[in-house]
Amino acid sequence: MLKPDVIKELSAVVGADHVMTANEDMIIYSNDATMFNAKPEAIVQPGSRDEVVEIVKIADRHHLPVTCRGAGTCLSGGPIPLKGGIVLEMTRMNRILKVDPVNKVAVVEPGVIAFALTTAANKVGLLYPPDPSSLKESTLGGNVSECAGGPKGVKYGITRNFVLGVEAVLSDGSIVKTGNEVDGDMAGPDWTMLFTGSEGTLGVIISITLRLVPIPAVKKTMMAIYDRLEDAAKTVSVTMASGIIPTTLEIMDNLSIVSVENYLKIGLPVKAGGLLLIEVDGVESTVEEDAKRVSEICKKCGASEVKMAKTPAEAEELWLARRSINPAFGQVAPCKFAEDATVPRSLVPVLVEKVLEIQKKYDVPIFICGHAGDGNMHPTIMFDKRNKEQKERAEKALHEVHIVTLELGGTLSGEHGIGFAKAPYLRAETGLAGYKLGQEIKKAVDPTGILNPGKMFFYEGELH
Amino acid sequence: MLKPDVIKELSAVVGADHVMTANEDMIIYSNDATMFNAKPEAIVQPGSRDEVVEIVKIADRHHLPVTCRGAGTCLSGGPIPLKGGIVLEMTRMNRILKVDPVNKVAVVEPGVIAFALTTAANKVGLLYPPDPSSLKESTLGGNVSECAGGPKGVKYGITRNFVLGVEAVLSDGSIVKTGNEVDGDMAGPDWTMLFTGSEGTLGVIISITLRLVPIPAVKKTMMAIYDRLEDAAKTVSVTMASGIIPTTLEIMDNLSIVSVENYLKIGLPVKAGGLLLIEVDGVESTVEEDAKRVSEICKKCGASEVKMAKTPAEAEELWLARRSINPAFGQVAPCKFAEDATVPRSLVPVLVEKVLEIQKKYDVPIFICGHAGDGNMHPTIMFDKRNKEQKERAEKALHEVHIVTLELGGTLSGEHGIGFAKAPYLRAETGLAGYKLGQEIKKAVDPTGILNPGKMFFYEGELH
């Protein structure tokens, strides 16, 4: 619990209405979309960059942890205030400061909902491609901090590929501006990537400059249905080797199909071993040709059927299945480890095979779905945490998924972030020298260590 | 001069043939493509990653500066050994370790010539887009360290956008591996950008993982000729606002045109105020349509003529003019400040106007050319350094070019790097907090400060 003097100081900056200390508030702000939680000592909602600077200075003076939070949809524990202190809720800073169609850049405050930017960009014929499932809830500050992805990553890349610059408040209250509105061209030092994906451990982001791209003229959506999941996985690597780069290449296993069908009753093929949802976009002539070629590849790889959407409404219907996996999870078990194990795309079939083995070995339900086209898979392990023995089996399965991913030259996290959910495995991914480098950089940039402590390179639990 | 014992230690690692200490060698390795120079105390040519590790350890033990060098084509003083010590010449490490067409990545050693990679990638239907003018001489290690660009930046981006990961030897001899072969998808910390563009001040790059893209089916090249340079500049921003993204959008002023014509005698329009070299690529139908639309935009903006290449040979002829600017410079004066002032592309017309004013004010020839499509301009100030008064005017003009670029929200360097040529202005670009951040990161990653000392954030001269 913070001292009344500190609360008074904080209230003087943002107004008493924007400082919360009631126990019920602390409970609400103690978690994200993972199963973990830890209570803060106060929630502060800054309304401007100057207020952020003042709050960070107060925190620094009193050695109080500062953990940033957007919408709290994080899947790795990023916004959980492990060491108490202040949760800095950034959602009041939600202005789109600029959408510039000539230079194809947007400048936003961190609390802008991703969907608000895509809407604003669309109005001037531009696209902001990263679209995590949380598109309509999550903030761009969170997206940048966790380096969010989404189904369009295969063609367009993830958040990292769209951040041209940020402004961030360091723990001494100084403001660093990185990058600029020059799209991409910049030699010399650029610290943008220090703040992208570092989950608020190095600075508090107060503005973001993002790259936009022209909206493709047309798109074509199809669904390929397979008896065997392995054949769907094989289609992914064959398609990616063909020279065609689809916008989307999503995979769903039988468990995902059946769960979504139970949930929605839309006539999905519940006997199928797997399916792919594929989209190609671009100019009309290419899209038609690409769609035809992809459809042929699917059949050659063993698809029993390829449904091609003829209208936008039919495309939307095909997407509905993919979009409903998350809500459908809940039918299988109350708890989940939602992973984003990512491997080189040619190895998607191997990862799928390994996960099927793990599923068998530990007898826990694992949804196998994800953005297969860029190797970003979502093996989602289901369990009930009240059943201790089952939870243990789920944890063992999770451990093996992490190890297999790293053995395949992959990364622990394609889009959800490290937070502390994956922090025990971070050293195994970076190697000892990389881990030490991460610690030294954190110490150099945040010498007092007040920013999101206990996460990533400063996780205090056991390392694998 | 190094002590004989140290030379013996270095020779034991790489063999006596690969350690040079003769004065004539020191002179050759004292400069790059700028006018600056400083002699090293030894040149060492490692043949493997293990040798790099051993040499760095020896240097660390004896507190010897280590400055990496590729082909020495740098335009900012990056490979000049300001504080003496060892020049680490990386050209023996020139193996392409992997070109993977499915995952669309290449892994190379730092001494690979950029052109060797483009050739290897082309063989499997892939493209490595960054193509600095030094493509056929410069090494990928140098390209990554300086973050090289080139005429295709407008559509594809610069080197930064293609580096998926590196392995680098830190000053304590440990090897850090950043990123991986997963194209783009990676949340969590990624220190790749620490080593990209940091000019060998943080680590010695020993391998690079690069992203490749499919080769576009067709391209179309055209040249638009203008009475007024300002109209050519205006065409750039109008084109970029049209939704079309050309592969190339190069600008040349009258001085560039006349100098190239004197040099080559190929019938260039010597009375033109300026010209644009434009290329569009992609699939056939779009390329035809885009080329037609761009041609119309050129005419609407005041082009007196638009020449469309009908054959690859004709396209090559149009490119010849652009490619010959560098050799043509020499006719005007023996010395040059070859800048890469880069501004948001909508402000190219403003930058051109300002440079024309500066040219007038200081009465020095300034070539105005460059990759206008991404705002990456090359105002090149010509002078004779033996004429002190003229050199002073050139320096004043250079100062104003830097200031104007920063005032327009641009960056000092779009592709040549900071080195020490632009280091006096770096703080003006990053701001004080960003500059201090750069210093703290350098101290954290290279605590003994042996890597390329005196450059970037540790420039010892006066700051503007």
Q: Which two tokens stand for residue A276?
A: 């792919």
* Within-domain flag for B380: yes
Q: Is A416 an 8 Å CB contact of chain B?
A: yes
Residues A117 and A208 both lie in one domain: yes
Span A224-268, pLDDT tens digits: 999 999 999 999 989 988 888 899 999 999 999 999 999 999 999
A residues 179..218 contacting B (CB < 8 A)? 180-194, 197-198, 214
Q: What are phi and psi of B114, to 5 degrees?
A: -50, -40
Span A420-459, pLDDT tens digits: 899 999 999 999 999 999 999 999 999 999 999 999 999 9
Q: Is B119 an 8 Å CB contact of chain A?
A: no
> Going by C-beta distance under 8 Å and a sequence separation of 6 or more, which residues neighbour residue A222?
A277, A278, A279, A291, A294, A295, A298, A306, A307, A308, A309, A318
A residues 326..355 contacting B (CB < 8 A)? 340, 342-346
A41: domain CATH number?
3.30.43.10
* Within-domain flag for B462: no
* Within-domain flag for B456: no
Please tell me the total count of domains within chain A: 4
* Within-domain flag for B463: no
A150: domain CATH number?
3.30.465.10
Q: Which two tokens stand for residue A451?
A: 């920013």
B260: domain CATH number?
3.30.70.2190
B residues 62..91 contacting A (CB < 8 A)? 76
Span A166-205, pLDDT tens digits: 999 999 999 999 998 887 667 777 899 999 999 999 999 9
Instruction: Provide the phi-psi class of B220: left if phi over 0, else alpha when psi is between -120 and 50, else beta.
Output: beta
Distance from CA of B314 to the nearest CA of A (A): 27
User: Nearest CB to A345: which of B102, B149, B410?
Assistant: B102
Give A179-235 as a DSSP string: S-SSSS---S--THHHHTTSTTSS-EEEEEEEE-EEPPSEEEEEEEEESSHHHHHHH
Q: Which two tokens stand for residue A376?
A: 């970003």
* Within-domain flag for A464: no
Residues B344 and B304 both lie in one domain: no
Domain-terminating residue out of A36, A66, A89: A89
Q: Which of B364, B373, B213 is nearest to B277 (CA)?
A: B373
Domain-terminating residue out of B305, B326, B347: B326
Residues B100 and B202 both lie in one domain: yes
Q: What are phi and psi of A5, to 5 degrees?
A: -60, -40
- Amino acid identity of residue B302, one-letter, is G
Residues A377 and A401 both lie in one domain: yes
pLDDT tens for chain A, 464 residues long, are 899 999 999 999 999 999 999 999 999 999 999 989 999 999 999 999 999 999 999 999 999 999 999 999 999 999 999 999 999 999 999 999 999 998 899 999 999 999 999 999 999 999 999 999 888 999 999 999 999 998 998 899 899 899 999 999 999 999 999 998 887 667 777 899 999 999 999 999 999 999 999 999 899 999 999 999 999 999 998 998 888 889 999 999 999 999 999 999 999 999 999 999 999 998 887 899 999 999 999 999 999 999 999 999 999 999 998 888 888 888 889 999 999 999 998 999 999 999 999 999 999 999 999 999 989 999 999 999 999 999 999 999 999 999 999 999 999 999 999 998 999 999 999 999 999 999 999 999 999 999 999 999 999 999 99
Q: Which domain holds residue B371?
A: 332-443
DSSP B316: H
CB contact at 8 A, B230 and B352: yes
Cα–Cα distance for residue pair A210/B222, rounded to 1 Å? 31
Instruction: Provide the phi-psi class of A412: left if phi over 0, else alpha when psi is between -120 and 50, else beta.
Output: alpha
Q: Does B225 have pLDDT greater than 90? A: yes
User: Nearest CB to A186: which of B177, B371, B411?
Assistant: B411
First and final C-alpha spacing in chain A: 34
Residues A233 and A308 both lie in one domain: yes
> Going by C-beta distance under 8 Å and a sequence separation of 6 or more, which residues neighbour residue A316?
none
- Chains A, B: CB contacts within 8 A come to 278
Residues B322 and B352 both lie in one domain: no
Cα–Cα distance for residue pair A451/B232, rounded to 1 Å? 49
Q: Which two tokens stand for residue B212?
A: 């490749």
Domain-terminating residue out of B182, B214, B246: B214
Residues B275 and B353 both lie in one domain: no
A350: domain CATH number?
3.30.70.2740
Residues B205 and B242 both lie in one domain: no
* The Cα angle at residue B275 between residues B273 and B277, in degrees rounded to 5: 170
Residues B372 and B321 both lie in one domain: no
Q: Is A157 an 8 Å CB contact of chain B?
A: yes
Could you tell me the CA-to-CA distances from B137 to B73, B112, B132, B143, B175 in Å, in that order? 8, 10, 10, 11, 27
Residues B298 and B342 both lie in one domain: no
Residues A103 and A196 both lie in one domain: yes
Q: Which of B450, B459, B458 is nearest to B85 (CA)?
A: B450
pLDDT of A184 reads 60
Q: Is B413 an 8 Å CB contact of chain A?
A: yes
Q: Which of B111, A429, B279 is nearest to A459 (CA)?
A: A429
Q: Which of A143-152, B109-118, B235-244, B293-302 has the lowest mean pLDDT?
A: B235-244
* Within-domain flag for B450: no
Tokens 């014992």 identify what position?
B5
CB contact at 8 A, B56 and B42: no
Is there a contact between B342 and A170 if contact means CB atoms under 8 Å apart? no
Cα–Cα distance for residue pair B216/A56, rounded to 1 Å? 49
Q: Which of B235, B250, B39, B74 is nearest to B152 (CA)?
A: B250
* Within-domain flag for B305: yes
Residues B182 and B242 both lie in one domain: no
* Within-domain flag for A407: yes
Cα radius of gyration rounded to whole Å, chain A: 22
Cα–Cα distance for residue pair A51/B435, rounded to 1 Å? 23
pLDDT of A115 reads 96
CB contact at 8 A, A118 and A131: yes
CB contact at 8 A, B340 and B377: yes
